[in-house]
Structure formats: C-alpha cells, structure tokens
Structure 1
Amino acid sequence: MNKAERISLHQLEQNFEEIEPALTNRQAIEEANRCLYCYDAPCIKACPTDIDIPSFIKKIASGNLKGSAKTIMTANPVGASCSRVCPTEELCEGACVLNHSTSPILIGNLQRYATDWAISNEAILFKAGKKTGKKVAIIGGGPAGLSAARELAILGHSVTIFEAKEKAGGMDTYGIVSFRLPQSISYWEIQQVKNLDVEIRTNTAVGTDIAPKAILDNYDAVVLAIGMSEVPKLGIDGEELDGVYDAISFVEATKTGTLTKDLIGKKVAVIGAGNTAIDAATCSVRLGAEDVKIIYRRSIDEMTAYDFEYEFAIHDNVDFQWLTAPVRIISDGQGRVSAIECIKMILSEPGDDGRRNPLPLQGSEFTLEIDAVIRAIGQSRYISLLEEFGVEQRGGVVKLIPDSYKTTCDKVYACGDVTFGKGQGEAMVVSAAQQGKLTAYEVHKSLAGEVTATA
C-alpha cells in the first residue's frame, strides 16, 4: 500500500482545520488587562479601518463582549475575518507602545475573541436605517462590496449586491486558505449584511446574466467592487498539460470541499512569491505533497508576501528558489507534467519605478523533476466589464476622481482591488473594507443631496 492509499480524504480535511488556537477566557482577560488604554493610541492610527482598539479591549476586560464586538464591527464590517488575516505585526500590533518594553498586546487575537463570541451567540449588532427611497447596486460581494452594502443599508438605502459566485464573501470565502480563515467566519459576516435587508443576488455575473446598462438605468448609484480576475498564463510551453493549476482556483478547491489525493507524495512547483503563492504552497503541503518549491524570478527583497507568511512557509519546509524563472513545462509523453526547465536570473539597476528588473543569465538553464505546477503570478483584470460601464480605466485599474471614490462615469463609484495599481497602496482585506465604508459615505452624501434638492 503506497502513501496515497494510506491517507484518507478525512485526514487531509483535518490538515485544513484552523491552525491558530483561540484565546481561552482566562488568556483573553489577562491579555486585555495588559493594555495601557493609551490616549491618542498609536494602534488606532495604524488600523486602516480606525477601530477604537483600546475601547474594544477595555470592554473585554469588563466582560462586555457584545459591546466589544460591536465596536470592532462598526469600524470594520469584516472585522471577524480581519482578526485572522490582517498583518497585525505590521499594523496595530506593530504600533503598540509595549513593543518598546515587553511585547505588544495581541490585538488580533483579542479581536477574534470578541467576534467569535458574537458569532457563537448569534448576536445582532446592527439594524437597517429608515428607508430613503434610493436604490444602490453593488457589483461584487467581497470585503469592499459587503462593507459598502452594510453602511448604505444602515443609512437607509435599498441595496442589491450582484455576485457572480455561489456565495458572497470574495477572497474571504474562496481565496484565503481554510487553516487561516474558515468559510464559516465569512458566512457570518455575509449574514450580518443580509440581516439589514440587503439583497444578495448570487450566481449573477454582471455582463453575462444582467447587462450593465440595465443596472445603470434602474439604480440611483452603482458601486464597482469587482476585485480582480483569474491568474494569467505564464506564457511558456507546456501550460496546457495535466497538472498545471492556477493558484486562485487551486485554493478555492480546498475551500469548497473538493479536496483530492492527487498531490500525495508528489513534487510541486509554485511560480510567484506573493501571499497567494504562499497559500498555494502551504496548501500543497497539507494535501500531502512531498516536496514543494516556490520559484521566483526576483530576490527575497522583492518578494511581495508578508514576512509572517514567508516564515510560515519556511516552517512548512517550503523550498524557495530565488532569482529563478520558468522556461518551459515538460511533458511525460502522456499529457502530464514531469519536469520544469528553469533559468537563473540577475537583477538590473533600479528603473523609474524603483524596481530592479530580472534578466536571464544565459547558459544557466537547469531542470527540476516536478509533478505539478501552480501559477501564482498575480491576477488579471475585468477590463471588458469596466468598458461596458463606461468608466475610465488603465489596464483594468479604475481611474478615480481625486480625493474621491467616484469614477469618471456619472453615479458610478469604485472601491477595493479594482482601484489598486502600482503605487496606489497595498491591496489588503482591511483596506478594501475601509474603502467600502468610505465609498458608502460618499454615495450617501450624493444621494442625500438629491433628496434635499427634490424635497
């Protein structure tokens, strides 16, 4: 009996259970009581959604867990997810004054403690506002779309989310590995939005199932929160072979109950070194892969993955091949991957954007025996859909009016990943949530002006 035959799918499922243990009641109280409750707290300034961190921690210390959860979720409509996936070391915890003496407050863990209480106790935290008679369409049900919808509903507007997938939640539901973020957490946040009479039309792809013009004609405002699309091709020979995956679909498969034993004992190469590449690599380990390599054409200094993600991959024995680029994927003669040919790279002098471009080192080609290849080189954009809405964009990145979330198209706004391009900030779940909130306030201000003008 080989290794694949000995390992059951149930065992693989266990590999995807949440790895970070929750704080016990005692641990949470002790940690909350360590907080200095700073006036003008630097942790608040470091939080993209401006959560009143000392306030929610003090509520934990006093036993007011519902109040704590409401403080968190008021500022961040996806605060339960963010408690698990935010790079807290670089944000709130990184700004904690206790870094200079002992150790920072475990803000992310305390945030999870409070929101987990709200989830397990089915707490109702918000209610819809008095109806204004205005209708808003939101295209995309990810963190940015859900945040915008939540705020607009509280402000009294009738909101409809159009979501192409079977479930809303975007990356929180489908794109972040289960051992970091279980789907149940995302589902609870979605339900919090539904409870405000927000209609979520799933399995409805705008541009296919409903025309953008129909939405523009029937809603007072439209928010584009469409995120990004699939992983692009590498542009090398052999990508059509069996055993080549794109990282987004690969991670999604592990979250939707379609785990397989195909990678048990196999060798996997992941192309790219962002957070999604790390997710694909660590998923491969949990699917039983024997040898997992990340192949990246630049150096560790240019890697876009968070430091804690990199350390996590190292802990999982993922091997990093720096300054290495794939040249072609080699077949076993029966339509499956058997190897990948690579070439070593050198970095040029920095260009106008400050980045050093990788250049191939001639004569340095080598081959690695590989059973599967996972593309994780970023995501493409929904350019044609943006064109149908008539908004100005560049390479799928929406152009916004300065100091605004309004596009160049009348009554159309945009937020989240669709607005992120080079030099426009970092695309994080927490950033998308904040943009969704701010977009909602801008839409509300515009619609409230219309109500006043016609009264």
Structure 2
Amino acid sequence: MSQATLSPGIVPGRLTPDELAVNFADVAPPLDRHEAHVEADRCYFCHDAPCITACPTGIDIPLFIRQIATDTPDAAGMTIFHANILGGMCARVCPTENLCEGSCVRNDAEGQPVRIGALQRYATDGLIADGAHPFRRAEPTGKRIAVVGAGPAGLSCAHRLAAKGHDVTIFDARAKPGGLNEYGIASYKTVDGFAQAEVAWLMGIGGITMETGRALGRDLTLDTLRAEYDAVFLGIGLGAVNALRTEGESFQNVRDAVDFISELRQADDRGALPVGRDVVVIGGGMTAVDAAVQAKLLGAENVTMVYRRSRDQMGASEHEQDHATSKGVRIIHGAAPIAVLGKGKVEAVQFAYTEIREGQLHLSENGFQLPADQVFKAIGQRLEAPLADLDLAKSGKIAVTGPGRTSLDGVWAGGDCAMGGDDLTVTAVAEGRDAAEDIDARLTGRPVEIPG
C-alpha cells in the first residue's frame, strides 16, 4: 500500500526495533528436556484415551508421551509423524484447548490438562532439527500425481503419496510453498521461518517436485492435469475474501485481514509496516484475532474486534480470545457493520446491535460508531479458482464423498476448499493424508493405512 493512500494516523515505526522483537517473540517457547519430562509424567496413559479421539489425525498421544517420559523423543516424533507429517506446525497452531487437551482426563482431576501441544512440539522439533528425513520411499510405482496447492492438505497428501513410491508434482500459485502456514498465521506463533523449514524437511522424502507461481485457472487447467497425471488432488484453499456489503467498503484503508497478515509474515522489517492509531477488525475467527493482536503488537493505540454473534459462537477459541484481550484488544459481541464512514478514507464505522428473533439474526435499531483510521475485514473466505466442472456443496466449497472424492473421476480434494472439516491446519492434514491413501488404493489396489 502506497503512502498516498494512507491516513495521517497510519504510520510505520510506531515502536522501536527492540519493542517489536519482544512483541513478536515466540508466544509459547519450547520445553527443555527437564520440563518435557515433568509434563510427560503428568499423563495417565489412558488405555481408551479421549485425546486420541479428539485429534483429527488420530495421533497415539499416550504412546508418544510415554516415549518422551522414557527419554526416547525421536521415537515420539516418529509416532506423531506417522499420523501427522505436519505435526510440528500443528503443535504450534492447533486449538489444543478444544481438541486433545480439551479432552484430557486431567481436566476433571485437577482442572489442568497435560500440555500435549507443547510435548508434541518438543518431540517433532528434535527430529526436524536433526535434518535427515526419517522416512524412506517405497519402490517406484511409475504413477504420477498432481497436487494443486502447497498448503497443509496438499503437503500432507504429497508426502504420503511420495512415501508410497509415486512421483508427485505440487503446483502452487504463490512464490513460496506452505499455504496458510506461511502466509496466514500470526508471526508470533511460527517464529524463525519455521514454516519453510518444515516444508524443506518434508520434501526430504524425495519424489516430490515443487512448482510455485502456477495457479489453477491461470497457468493450469483441470482438464490438462487429468490428461497428464494418473490422479489429481486439489488443496487450493479459499483465495477470495467475503465482502462486508456495506456503504463505504471501498474506502481507502479498508483491507482484507488475510492480506495484512500475509504482508506482515513476509516483511523483513516489521518497523516499516504502517499501522493505524484506531484499528477496527470485523469478524470473530482466528484470522480476526491474528490481525487484531498483530495490529496491537505493531503499536496501534486502540484495536477493537467486532463480531455479530455471541462470544461462544465465535470461530476463535476461548483461549485465543483471552490472548487477544490480554494484549489490549477490545472485543465487542452482538454487533454488525452497516456503514463505513469517511470522505474517501475511513474515519469511522457505524454498527448496529444484533438480536436473535425466531432463530434468525436481525439488526436492531440501536447501534454505535467506532472511530477508525484502518479497518480489517475478516468475515470468511470463499473459492476463487474457476471450478465449473466440479460439483459444489451448498457452502460453496467443493463437494466430496468419503476420503475427498469429487464429482470428477480421478480428482480428489481436501482442506479448506472442500466440504466438511473445521478449516483447521490439523483437519487439512488429515484430509490430505486420507485422500492420498484412497488415491494409492485406487492406483495400486493396496489396502488403506490410516491411523486411528
């Protein structure tokens, strides 16, 4: 964004380099060996562990924790990676409080679950730091698979297919692989270039070719991919952002939150990024929280998130909401934007309080204004690529059956672009993995091997 489009209050360098370094440090520093052993000793090693059921990838959590407790962290890492090849990233970004840790029986015993996410990071980071990839490819099958999208679903699918001996080409529209792991997650969750380090480690399996800057609908067609490859997997995510559909939405300094997060993630110098004095974020999901918190960490004086429904209906977990408020973000529930105010550049946002009548959300006659020199939209995303030949679900996503089978023979889909799931990294990994197993079974007749 050029300086010409910025309001006087939107400036770079609100904080010193030292302040920015502190603000964007690792939000959850890794455990050391002693801390990991102490935490592992808290696990009951349940025989019928509810934490496994709560994990979308079905990791054998009691087993890997026991392996840490017996001082074999590399074995723990392998237990994790067999089920979830992106276990390192998931250890950082999973809403564990809603998944594995939320199901931990320690919650009933003492109100404090085992820190499964931290233990998972301890085990996976050790193996990745070793450098050598721990998996070996099976004998070559001669089959070629195209994977479109180098996000969590595509990477998971590609790795499993490569491990089974297939040759895989990944196409991605962006300059770097990783998808949302690289471009869409708060910087303080994945420090020190971890997303790219994880991709490089994953590619160590061999048999995978990465082609970046190749977009479906621009550089690639589904018909061509189907003709040239034995199977196609689509993990293209959701590239388009939903509109507010309000007056003034096109004003300067009204931006998509995903673009702001991406710009921040790719910045060499955070001090050069302009941020407003009064920032308003519209939405209630993880993207909204990440945008709001990072605006505050860049030095915005007032940051307010506004969500149209109640706190317990927000897409962001309670833990993430609490994190936002701990950083000084104000969260307003039960209000929706009806107009962006200003003279070409945003100066304020008009909101109406919402109410539920007969199960439907309605705008009330009462409302309020928030001053704003910068507004971020985070109200959901939708498919961007032209997919005229594929059946879509009512949600607008690609309709799938079973392990990602689409309406086109030989084409599978998974991750955010496909029907179902929770739009989580860990869910995308599971869907990519399961689609790979189904593709392999279709091409070779081998049995499916899925944990859990």
Is the TM value for this pair above 0.5?
A: yes
1:262 counterpart letter in structure 2: P
Residues 386-410 of structure 1: per-residue CA shift (max 9 Å, x gap): 21xx221135311223x34211111
SS at match of 1:83: helix
Deviates more, 1:119-128 or 1:424-433: 119-128
Aligned to 1:444: 440
Residues 60-104 of structure 1: per-residue CA shift (max 9 Å, x gap): 122222211111111101100110111112221222222222332
Aligned equivalent of 2:361, options 358, 363, 367: 358
Aligned to 2:374: 372
1:21-100 aligned at under 5 Å gives the runs 21-100=29-108
Question: C-alpha distance in 2, partners of 1:6/1:146?
Answer: 37
Question: C-alpha distance in 1, partners of 2:115/2:273?
Answer: 37
Question: C-alpha distance in 2, partners of 1:136/1:10?
Answer: 47
Aligned to 1:159: 168
SS at match of 1:101: helix
SS at match of 2:250: coil
State the percentage of identical aligned residues: 38
Deviates more, 1:103-112 or 1:237-246: 237-246
2:398 counterpart letter in structure 1: V
Aligned to 1:298: 309
Aligned equivalent of 1:135, options 100, 119, 144: 144
Distance 1:32 1:224, change over 3 A: same
How many angstroms does 1:16 deviate by?
1.8
SS at match of 2:381: coil
1:147 counterpart letter in structure 2: S
Does residue 212 of structure 1 match 2:222? yes
Q: Which has the higher contact order (CA 8 A, sep 6+)?
A: 2
The unaligned stretches of length 5 or more in structure 2 are: 1-8, 447-452
SS at match of 1:393: coil
1:237-252 aligned at under 5 Å gives the runs 237-252=247-262
1:415 counterpart letter in structure 2: G
2:373 counterpart letter in structure 1: D
Distance 1:345 1:36, change over 3 A: closer
1:279-298 aligned at under 5 Å gives the runs 279-298=290-309
2:438 counterpart letter in structure 1: E
Question: C-alpha distance in 1, partners of 2:93/2:12?
Answer: 31
1:96 counterpart letter in structure 2: C
Aligned equivalent of 1:235, options 245, 263, 266: 245
How many angstroms does 1:4 deviate by?
6.5
How many angstroms does 1:197 deviate by?
2.4
Question: C-alpha distance in 1, partners of 2:78/2:403?
Answer: 28
How many angstroms does 1:255 deviate by?
0.5
Question: C-alpha distance in 1, partners of 2:192/2:413?
Answer: 26
Distance 1:16 1:392, change over 3 A: same
1:376 counterpart letter in structure 2: A
CA RMSD, Structure 1 to Structure 2 (Å): 2.0
The unaligned stretches of length 5 or more in structure 1 are: 351-356, 451-455
Question: C-alpha distance in 2, partners of 1:322/1:297?
Answer: 6
Contact in 2 for aligned 1:174/1:255 (Cα 8 Å): yes
2:178 counterpart letter in structure 1: G
SS at match of 1:361: strand
How many angstroms does 1:5 deviate by?
6.0
Distance 1:6 1:217, change over 3 A: closer
Contact in 1 for aligned 2:150/2:172 (Cα 8 Å): yes
Distance 1:231 1:208, change over 3 A: same
SS at match of 1:326: strand
1:221 counterpart letter in structure 2: A
Equivalent pairs, count: 432
Distance 1:404 1:249, change over 3 A: same
Residues 287-340 of structure 1: per-residue CA shift (max 9 Å, x gap): 111111111222223222111111111111211222222122122x4x322111
Aligned to 1:263: 275
Contact in 1 for aligned 2:173/2:213 (Cα 8 Å): yes
SS at match of 2:189: coil
Contact in 1 for aligned 2:391/2:407 (Cα 8 Å): yes
Aligned to 2:449: none
Deviates more, 1:135-144 or 1:84-93: 84-93
How many angstroms does 1:124 deviate by?
2.0
How many angstroms does 1:9 deviate by?
4.9
TM-score by length of 1: 0.90
Distance 1:93 1:301, change over 3 A: closer
1:410 counterpart letter in structure 2: D
Aligned to 1:148: 157
SS at match of 1:112: helix
Question: C-alpha distance in 1, partners of 2:82/2:387?
Answer: 31
Contact in 2 for aligned 1:323/1:358 (Cα 8 Å): no
TM-score by length of 2: 0.91
Contact in 2 for aligned 1:244/1:337 (Cα 8 Å): yes
Contact in 1 for aligned 2:403/2:431 (Cα 8 Å): no
Question: C-alpha distance in 2, partners of 1:194/1:145?
Answer: 12
SS at match of 1:437: helix
Question: C-alpha distance in 2, partners of 1:118/1:244?
Answer: 43
Distance 1:63 1:268, change over 3 A: same
Aligned equivalent of 1:323, options 318, 334, 342: 334
How many angstroms does 1:177 deviate by?
0.3
Aligned to 1:385: 386
Question: C-alpha distance in 1, partners of 2:42/2:249?
Answer: 53
SS at match of 1:242: coil
Deviates more, 1:64-73 or 1:11-20: 11-20
Aligned to 1:199: 209
2:443 counterpart letter in structure 1: L
Contact in 2 for aligned 1:173/1:183 (Cα 8 Å): no
How many angstroms does 1:7 deviate by?
2.6
1:274 counterpart letter in structure 2: G
